[in-house]
Each structure stands twice: as structure tokens, then as C-alpha cells.
Structure 1
């Protein structure tokens, strides 16, 4: 039997609200993001009878750690009862981090066109592609020994959906990955709650 992953994307940051490419920049949650984290915790309580008994694996970036802490707080669990794993960090947008998509397009029109043509395989300057990201995260997810809570990023969710659920590479980068909800990932299937 394969593990079920209860995936929580970090709550909103100001850069999310502004449409900026965050990548691995360490941007904090805003007030709305804190509320989304608490909401995700309450949803998880309805899905899992004892979420405190599951391992919690979290990207080490501030926005994911604080999301885990607020979600766990909403569950009345020790806010720091999780482990971090660097493999869960967001996809690197390299030189584009901090830019909006229109700014990246204006700065590097040929690179931006190449990304639009192949979002999965494209690697931004000094960044990584979704192929690179799958290679990084796959050992983490393949090593899960049972049901787990994972708190990470939108790019990581898209990569794991391709890796675990067979979402086509041309479709995965276009999936909406919601904040304030829980993505339940099984073997070859997923659903949003």
C-alpha cells in the first residue's frame, strides 16, 4: 500500500499577491497567508483523525515553516513538531526571482518565449526546470514510509503530481495549486479538499 500525502502549499506572501516569482527567496507570510495556513490545519483535522501522529515534512523556507506552525497551532499540536527537508524547497527561478512575469518577459524576451513553449523542460538563467525539480524531490516522496503531511510550494506540488499521479508534463506546470486547502495525493490519483 502506498502512502497518502496530505500536501499543504504555503500561505500567501506579499510576493504572491504581487505576482512575483519567489523561487527560493525567503519571503514571509502576510496576514492572509497566516489565515490560509490555519484554514488548511482545520481542513486536515477533518481528513485525518490524528494528524499529530503523522510525520510532517516541511520545506525549510520561512513561508513554509510558518505555514506548518500555524496549521499545527490550529490543530492544537506543538507548532514545532515537524522536520525540514531541503529537497522540498521551491523550484529555482534563478535570475528571474523577484520579478513579475511581465518584468521577466521584458528583460529576457527570448528566454520567456522559450519558457512559454516548454514550461516543463525550460530552465531559466541560473534556475532549474521541472525535470530538475522532479529529480530533486522524487527521493523524498519515494522514501515516505506511510501517510505524511508535506508543507511545501506550488512548483513542488506540480512536480509530485507528475511524478506520483502521472500528470502529463505539458499539463502539470499549468495546474492551479491552492493556498488554504489540502491536496490529498495517493498513487496515481489526487483531489483537493
Structure 2
């Protein structure tokens, strides 16, 4: 994979926690709202952004169309006293789809679909869940989003998106990207091929 060189700093924020996150359920394409902790995490991300970049009002803001990402963006912008709703929605930033596995925990999947789960463990980047998509497919979907960035941008999206970005900019290998923990309430600052949590 040829790494993308971003022209400007990119700030990635994973949506706050949902009840399905708390329960360890695969959400993927399911539109699950934030829980109380998730709303707190969204506000914490705003404070981190404010401390990192006093010129945050000049950034471009883009969100996944999924409710948990839009709610996180709305809370973030409210905390920053930015105009509500004055951000872009990009459908390409929706979460990795787990297909038939959505709604189940990994424990349940390992028990009911043992062979498939083992195949995924051997190749998390390339494995396609039944009716779903792989991280490789996700990276192809979001590559154009990164190539279109013109200025410093805040993207509120999902764990899968952040992993794909890390691989696309060359911060980590694709195989390692699929294993990276993506934290809620923190911000991931991507500059060149470096990525740091704040």
C-alpha cells in the first residue's frame, strides 16, 4: 500500500461510548446512540482539542453519518461554542460493516463461528465477515476522503476508520493497524506519517 501524505494535520475523534460498546457488541452498520459516558467523552474530546489547537474554529469538521458520530460531533461543537450543524457529513466515513456478526460479542462469535473467527485472527486486515467488509475494503473506501483534504480537519468517526487511516498514512503496517486500540474521549493527531494520542 502506497502511503498517503496528508497536506495538513488531521485530528481523528472516535465517537463516545454506546451501550453496545460497553457490552462488547459489534456495532458496525447499526445506528446505536451514545450513552451517558459517551456524552461525557465527547465533551472531554472538545477540551483536548481546545488545548491542542486554539485556532480550532478555522478547521474543517466532518462526521460519519451514523448517529453516534453525529451526536459526538454535536456535543464537541457545542463545547467549543461553534455553530451547531455547521459541519459536513461524509457517508464514506461510516463504520466498518460486520454483516451477520453485528449485535454479537466476540465471545459469542468465537463459540458459534469458531472456524471463521480463527480465520479472522490470522488476518484481521483482509478477513471479510459474512455479509460484511474487511479493513482492506474499508481503507479503499476512505482513501479518497484523505486525498481530498485541503486544510486542517477534525473527523469524528469510528474505530475502524481510525485504524484504516493509520495504515493509509503509513503510521503502522496494515496488519498492525487492525490490532490498534482506538480510544473514546481522546483525540488522535495525524501529521505526516506520525500519529499521537492526546
Q: Pairwise mapping of residues 16-55 of structure 1 onto structure 2 (< 5 A)?
A: 16-55=21-60
Question: Aligned-residue CA RMSD in angstroms?
Answer: 1.0
Aligned: 1:83 with 2:88: yes
Indicate the SS of the match to 1:20: coil
CA distance in 2 between counterparts of 1:11 and 1:188 reads 25
**Partner in structure 2 of residue 133 of structure 1:** 138
For the 8 Å contact 1:70–1:79, the answer to whether it is kept is: no
CA distance in 2 between counterparts of 1:166 and 1:13 reads 28
CA distance in 2 between counterparts of 1:103 and 1:177 reads 22
CA distance in 1 between counterparts of 2:171 and 2:86 reads 31
**Partner in structure 2 of residue 175 of structure 1:** 180
**Partner in structure 1 of residue 154 of structure 2:** 149
Moved more, 75-84 or 56-65: 75-84
**Partner in structure 2 of residue 112 of structure 1:** 117
- Structure 1 residue 50 displacement after superposition: 2.3
Q: How many residues align?
A: 193
Structure 1 segments of 4 or more deviating over 6 A? Answer: none
Deviations 1:90-115 (A, max 9, x none): 10100000100011112211111100
CA distance in 1 between counterparts of 2:157 and 2:146 reads 12
Deviations 1:108-131 (A, max 9, x none): 111111001110110000000010
CA distance in 2 between counterparts of 1:191 and 1:32 reads 23
Moved more, 164-173 or 141-150: 164-173
For the 8 Å contact 2:95–2:158, the answer to whether it is kept is: yes
CA distance in 2 between counterparts of 1:165 and 1:52 reads 28
Please give the TM-score of this superposition, normalised by the length of structure 1: 0.97
CA distance in 2 between counterparts of 1:52 and 1:114 reads 45
Give structure 2 stretches of 5+ with no counterpart.
1-5
Indicate the SS of the match to 1:67: helix
